Structure 1
Amino acid sequence: MGRRTGFEHLLCYCGETGNELVRHSDRAPDRVGLPKRHLMQAKSRGGRLVIHHNHPQDMSLSLVDILHLVSRPGMMELFAHGHDGSWYWAESHRRRDGHDMVLHGANALVKAYRQLATRGSPLREELAPHLLNLALDYSGIIMYKFQLGQSMITSVASVSEDRKNWLLDCVKEAIRKERQIS
């Protein structure tokens, strides 16, 4: 449906029974949310929601996606499916401080991106969510798996291993420091 409309669409089902709970679209190309009646289930520890949604831009799970996942105990798993065949999956480790750790990691990544841009070697913006999610996985905040589409494979390949490791280290270090404080 998303390929036809260009909008994000969501499918939510119960992770225990496999029963479909809702199909929904906000009719927007860059966001979709759970309807209010299902949002309460996502906020409840008893909810066992598995959510699939599409990303027309073929990008990884966004910062907002990950923040919802780590702060809503009823969300078991979250998938994003690109229109190019890519897919991204995450599950939260349910850390009490997960929300704060995600924000500190994201802020560190933004600073690192700015630093590279100032040096005259900016990175493509679509890489940021993927790199953040890799660092969050490494830091034990989420489990993250993916299959990249061709455009992301090209973007990732355009970044040297040293630069990629430097970016990931910036994020991991910010998360490590925040853990020591909290």
Structure 2
Amino acid sequence: MTRPRPRLFALLLTLLAGLVLAGCGASQQDTAPAPAPAPSPVAAQKPVAEPVSIDVPSIDAHSTLVPLGLNQDKTVQVPPVDQPLQAGWYRLGAMPGQVGPAVVLGHIDGNHKKGIFWRLHEMKQGDQVVIGRKDGSKATFTVTKVDQVAKKEFPTEAVYGKTAGSEIRLITCGGAFDAAKHSYLDNIIVYGTLNT
């Protein structure tokens, strides 16, 4: 039996690491959640300042927020996969503090690095999510549920549908990694309600 060459072994380790930290998917489309319904009107609500940052102390996640809209195929945009520590908020839905679900998206990994929501699956009921706003105010949410669902069964209505109060959703990829498609098979979704 021959021993593997050191260079070959190092190359195999590098390839394996690349598969694990390849990002949520090979393309923006792979990383987007299911198509969002038509945005609910929020103009009549009490105005709140635009969200600019997110802090999730329980998983040591901190990021500025970039606004996200819809792709041409009507799926929700995601932050650039080559900037895995950047989170974004869905600007066509409710802003944090308004009635409705405010949606924040981030990568589990990307560009061969851990992403802003690498540890999102570790969150538990009662954890806090703090959204900083442009005017210096903050909206703090308490986590009510953490869910893992297959991307093909994405709960569009539960995530983007109408709510009685101000809520938040944090979304990333998760579950098994499909090396052939360069994509995770599931989504991790965190649900929370605004502290009053």
State the TM-score, normalizing by the size of structure 1.
0.30
Q: Which has the larger radius of gyration?
A: 2
State the TM-score, normalizing by the size of structure 2.
0.29
Query: Higher strand fraction: Structure 1 or Structure 2?
Result: 2
Query: Higher helix fraction: Structure 1 or Structure 2?
Result: 1
